[in-house]
Amino acid sequence: MAKITFITSDNEKVTLEGASGSVMQLAVNNGVSGIDGDCGGVCSCATCHVFVAEKDLEKVGDASEIETDMLELADEANEFSRLCCQIEISEAIDGIELTVAK
């Protein structure tokens, strides 16, 4: 089980718990504002773009080449950017904080 906190563009903090699946699916299932997941989690859009808190970068690991290529198309992408469809829920990411991209 992992707790994940999303910070929306309205500065609302939403903390959710999940046991498996992708962080994007958890967000979509719980109506987190700004996470759309239009491609269904196959890394072919950037509608689940988030910024990982610096303290949590090691927990989520590096983006794959495919994810990095997709992030190059996203507005405001930076070194903290990830597509949350590519972050799997596990105990290893417990406590992470993600800011939803605008």
- The pLDDT score that the predictor gives to residue 5 is 98
Average per-residue pLDDT for the chain? 96
Q: With bands split at pLDDT 50, 70 and 90, how would you rate the model's confidence at 98?
A: very high
pLDDT mean over 20-38? 97
DSSP 64-92: PHHHHHHHTTSTT--TTEEEGGG-B--GG
Q: Is the pLDDT of residue 83 over 90?
A: yes
* The domain made up of 2-100 is a member of CATH 3.10.20.30: yes
Name the burial class of residue 10, with classes exposed (0-12), middle (13-18) and buried (19+) by CB atoms within 10 angstroms of its CB.
exposed
With a pLDDT cut of 90, the percent of the chain lying above it is: 97
Give the per-residue pLDDT at 33. 97
- Which of 56, 57, 44, 35 is CA-nearest to residue 101? 35
pLDDT at 75: 85
State pTM to two decimals: 0.95
